[in-house]
Amino acid sequence: MDKILRINMGANGGPEAKTESLGDYAGMGGRGLTSAIISKEVPPSCHPLGEDNKLVIAPGLLSGSAAAMSGRISVGCKSPLTGGIKEANAGGQPSQMLGRLGYAAIVLEGKPAEDSLYKVFINNDGVQIQTDNSLRMLGNYDLVDKMKAEYGEKIACISIGQAGEMKLAGASVAFTDMELRPTRHAGRGGVGAVMGAKGVKVIVVDDAGCKMRSPADAEKFKTANKEFVAGLRKHEISGEGLPAFGTNVMTNIINEAGAYPTKNFQLGRFDGCEMISGETQAELENARGGEGSATHGCHRGCVIRCSGTFYDKDGNYVTKQPEYETVWSHGGNCGINDLDAIAQIDRLDDDYGLDTIEMGATVAVAMEAGIAEFGDAEAAINLVKEVGKGSPLGRVLGSGAEVTGKVLGVERVPVVKGQAMPAYDPRGIQGIGVTYATSTMGADHTAGYAVASNVAGVGGKTDPLSPEGQAELSKNLQIATAAIDATGMCLFIAFPLLDQPETFQAMVDLINAFSGSNMTADDVTELGKSILKSEREFNAAAGFTNRDDRLPDYFKKEKLPPHDITFQVSDQELDQVHSY
C-alpha cells in the first residue's frame, strides 16, 4: 500500500479526489496511521462535525496479504462523543480489498456546501464521486442491496445508516462481511456522525483485477504465517472457546466472576445470564441451522472464526451472531434474557448504524429514568426504533448515554470522557477500570483488555478485586494493543501472544518477512508507545487533563454486589499509567 486517497468534500465545484504518496506516513497502517493523520492535520479545538475535522479509514499494515487475521480496519477522527481523538475498528471485507488496491488510507476532508448525499466508487481504474440523494435515510441493509444492484456482487461497502446521516454521536460506520451484509461496525465514538457530516453515505470498493499483496520474503512469510496460525489454533481461547461459542463465551465467565454489569451497573450478576450465554446461544443457533450459524469468520483470512449467523425460529436470517458486548448491553444491562429480542435489536443497530455498546448503555440509563422497565424487551426495541425515526426522543438516545442521562436527570451514568463503559464492571475487574479511566479513547475495553489477566489468567494472573498491579497491567496492555491495532490484526491474537512467546515471535517474523524490515519485540513496544503519545498529545491540546482520566464518582462510593467492593485504584496510580 503506497498511496493515500484524499477526498475533499468541500472543494470548489464539488467533491474532488486526489491520490498522493505516503510521504511522512510511510510504514504506518491501521490505528498508527489514523492517529498520525488526525494528530498532525486536525486542529484539536475544531468542532467534530465541522469542516476541519477529518475521517480517516485505514487498513492495517498486513491487510490485502495472505497473513492470517489481517483484515481489521481502523476509522479515525476527532470524536463527536468524547471530544478527543478516536480510533474505532472493524472486521469485514473492505480492509483486504483496499489493501489490494494499494490504498493505505482514505481521508475524507472538508464539508459539502450544499445538503446533498454522495456515493464514492473505488476500483482499479480510479475513483468516482456522485451525488445520490435517493439514498437519503436508507438503512444500511437497503443501502447495500441498492449498491449490489448497481455495481454487482463482487464489491464491499463502507456506509452509514440513518444515525450517521442525522450526525448522532452514537453513530457507527458499517463494513460489509463476506456475505455482503453490513454487519461489521466501527462503532465507538460517533465515527458515523463524522462520515455523515462529510456528506458521504457509502463508499463502494471493487478490487477486481487486483492481486494479493506480495511479501518481501515469500518463504520466510509462509513459514512465519504457518507458525502463527498454529499458535492461534492451539490456545484454548482462540482455538477452542471462541470458535465454539463466539465472544459470548464470556457471559457465564464474567457473571460467575461477579463483574457482569446488570441493570445499569447496579449489580455484578444477572439471574437470567444462563438464558443468554454463549453456550445457550450456540446451542440455539446450531439447532436452527443455516449457513455459518454458530461458527463463522468476519473476514477472509480469519482462522479464529468467533462470529456466527443468527436465524429466527423459522430459519430466516436476522443478523450476525450477536457478540458478547451486544448481548450484555441489550441483555443483562437492561435486565433482558431473550436472545431473539437481543438479535432483533442488534439488527436494528446495524441497520440504523449505531454502536451497540453505546445504545445498550443508553437504553439502560433510560430505564433507570423510568422511560421503560428493566426487563421489558418490547420497550427496548421500541426505544431503538425511535432513533431510526429521528424523533426528538430518538435523537436524544442516539446521542449516547451521557447526553441521555443529562436530559432525563439520571445521576448514575457509566461513562468516561463521554463514552459508555462496555460489559465489565470496573469494581469487579479493577484492571479494566484502569483502562476505562486512562485510555485515550474513553471507556473502551479493547484499548487494554485487562480482563485477560484479571479473569482468564492469560499472561499471568492478577487478582481482579485488588488494586495492586492493575495500573502497570493496563499500561502494558494499552501499549501492546495500540501496536496490534496498527497491523490490521484481530485483537484476539493477544491471547496466544501473551501465553506463547513463540507465537509472538512468529507475528514479528511475519511482519518482517512481509515488509522487509528487522523489527524486534522492543520495536513493537516502541510503536505502541508512539501511537499513544500522539493520541495523548492531541487530547491534551483539545483540553483534556488528568482529571478526565477518572471513573464517575459513584464507582468509588457504591459497593457492587456480590463482592460488595468499590473501585480501589488510586488517582495517583492512574496518573502514572502514561508515564513512559
So where are the chain's domains?
3-205, 253-425
In this prediction, residue 272 carries a pLDDT of 96
Evaluate if residue 372 carries a pLDDT over 80: yes
In this prediction, residue 507 carries a pLDDT of 93
In this prediction, residue 294 carries a pLDDT of 63
Evaluate if residue 572 carries a pLDDT over 80: yes
| Residues 424-473: tens digit of each pLDDT | 999 999 999 999 999 999 999 999 999 999 999 998 999 999 999 999 99
Mean pLDDT of 197-207: 98
Helix orientation angle between 339-352 and 377-389, rounded to the nearest 10 degrees: 10
Of 122-126, 192-196, 208-212, 290-294, minimum mean pLDDT range: 290-294
How far is residue 69 CA from its own chain's centroid? 16
Question: For 3-205, which CATH class?
Answer: alpha beta
In this prediction, residue 488 carries a pLDDT of 85
Give me the long-range contacts of 183-186 (CB less than 8 A, separation at least 24). 183/92, 183/298, 183/319, 183/320, 183/350, 184/90, 184/91, 184/92, 184/298, 184/299, 184/320, 185/90, 185/350, 185/353, 185/355, 185/356, 186/73, 186/74, 186/75, 186/88, 186/89, 186/90
Domain 253-425 sits in CATH at 1.10.569.10
What are the two backbone dihedrals, phi and then psi, of residue 205, each rounded to the nearest 5 degrees? -120, 130
Max alpha carbon distance in the chain (Å)? 63
pLDDT band for 537, please (50, 70, 90 cuts). Answer: very high
The grid coordinates of residue 290 equal: 443455516
Strand pairing partners for 307?
296
